[in-house]
Every structure is written in C-alpha cells, then in structure tokens.
A and B are shown apart, each in its own frame.
Chain A
Amino acid sequence: SQELEQSPQSLIVQEGKNLTINCTSSKTLYGLYWYKQKYGEGLIFLMMLQKGGEEKSHEKITAKLDEKKQQSSLHITASQPSHAGIYLCGADDKGGGNKLTFGTGTQLKVEL
C-alpha cells in the first residue's frame, strides 16, 4: 500500500518568515492533494496537483509536484498566524472512487 511521509513533523516560525513542507510518496503519485486542519476539526481543501511539474498557488501558498522524486512541496510565503494548523497531503490511492491515503501531517505554529 502507498505511504506518504511528511517533513518536518512540526515547525515553529516567526510571523513573516517563509517555510516549506514536503510530502514524499513510497509509490508513483497520480494525484496529490493538500489539506489544512485546525486541531480537532475537519479538513479544508487547499490544492490539487495532477501532473508532474505542476505548480499551483492560492494567496500566499504554493504547491508543486515532482513526479520523478515522487514528492510534493508546500511553500508558504510571509507566514501569518492564520496559517497555523496541521497540513496534510493526500494521494489518490488508485483504488477507484474517492479514496485518499493521507500523510503523517505537519503541525505549523506561527509566532508573533
């Protein structure tokens, strides 16, 4: 079965700093999804990447997909307290239907 490893597991950054979260898959990536979760709450969809080399941006968050490395990265520019939370990557399990395998998660704290 597919496994997704995220790094780092947690990080604390000062407001205004840039940061990057990585998601590495044990198998070929066919589709990669990024979600954000506030502790104990549901997940909020951020972005979906489907093609190698694809890069998408939403406000100050940019995600890239590197098919060869079986890896995706999420970059936040000029972090704000509102960026704090748990970031999760999810991959299409290719089992058919809407089934995602999720990564281990990265907890982000933004200090003022």
Chain B
Amino acid sequence: KAGVTQTPRYLIKTRGQQVTLSCSPISGHRSVSWYQQTPGQGLQFLFEYFSETQRNKGNFPGRFSGRQFSNSRSEMNVSTLELGDSALYLCASSLAVTIGELFFGEGSRLTVL
C-alpha cells in the first residue's frame, strides 16, 4: 500500500515568487491536512480538506491557499514568497471522518532566498 507522496521534495525559490506543492494521499483517504514546520514555530496547522471542501484553516495569511481534487489529491500554493516561508511543508492524510490517525508524507522542503 503506497504511503502519502509529496512532490517536490526540495525546492528553492526567490522572494516574490510563488510555489505549488502537491500531495497524493493514501488510497481511500479523503482527508488531507497541511502543516508547516520551522525551527522557531514548530509544527503548525495550515488547513485541511475533506471531499474537496476546506474544513479547517489555521492562522496563516491569505498568501497560503490550497485545494483538493476529486481524486483526493491536494495542492497548496504560497504566493509572494517571503524569507520566513522557508520551511518543511508536511501533508497528512486520514481515513477518519473526524479526528484520527494521521499518515504523514516525507515533506517538501522549501527554501526562499
């Protein structure tokens, strides 16, 4: 059974650019969550999608957005990149409709120069 797949694994961008990260959940999982991990702030919740609808949103500016497709694959987008957006972005999928075990991908490491 394939795990959660995130692409790309590593990327470097410059300030002002935008970036799109992709996440393919475990087959059958309809919930996809995104987290940002930095040394200073730790692991912070960005948003969650369930059946193509955003169900939860964290305290991040509107530059951070996401979407989920009918096949449960999800993308997140960060526009007008800032140096502080450099982080490991983790995607997690879950089978549970409500809170349950989250299966995490390996993450996408974004460096903003």
Asked whether, in the complex, the Cβ of A40 is within 8 Å of the Cβ of B102, the reply is: no
Q: How large is the interface on A (under 10, 10 to 19, 20 to 34, 35 or more residues)?
A: 20 to 34
Asked whether, in the complex, the Cβ of A40 is within 8 Å of the Cβ of B98, the reply is: no
Minimum CB–CB distance from A46 to chain B (whole Å) comes to: 10
Give the residue of A35, A41, A98, A103 whose beta carbon is less than 8 angstroms from that of B99: A98
In the complex, chain A residues whose CB is within 8 Å of the CB of B107: 40-42
Per the 8 Å Cβ criterion, residues 18-64 of A in contact with B are 31, 33, 35, 40-45, 48
Check: B61 CB closer than 8 A to any chain A CB: no
In the complex, chain B residues whose CB is within 8 Å of the CB of A48: 101
Minimum CB–CB distance from B6 to chain A (whole Å) comes to: 8
Check: B100 CB closer than 8 A to any chain A CB: yes
Interface of B, secondary structure class, is: strand
**Alpha-carbon separation in the docked complex, A101 to B43 (Å):** 8
Assess A42 versus B106: contact at CB under 8 Å? Given A88-B43, A97-B99, A102-B43: yes
In the complex, chain B residues whose CB is within 8 Å of the CB of A88: 43
Asked whether, in the complex, the Cβ of B101 is within 8 Å of the Cβ of A40, the reply is: no
Asked whether, in the complex, the Cβ of A40 is within 8 Å of the Cβ of B88, the reply is: yes
User: Contact string, A4-29, partner B, CB cutoff 8 A, digits 1/0?
Assistant: 00000000000000000000000000
Minimum CB–CB distance from A41 to chain B (whole Å) comes to: 6
Give the residue of B42, B94, B105, B106 whose beta carbon is less than 8 angstroms from that of A98: B94
Asked whether, in the complex, the Cβ of B88 is within 8 Å of the Cβ of A98, the reply is: no
Check: A110 CB closer than 8 A to any chain B CB: no
In the complex, chain A residues whose CB is within 8 Å of the CB of B88: 40
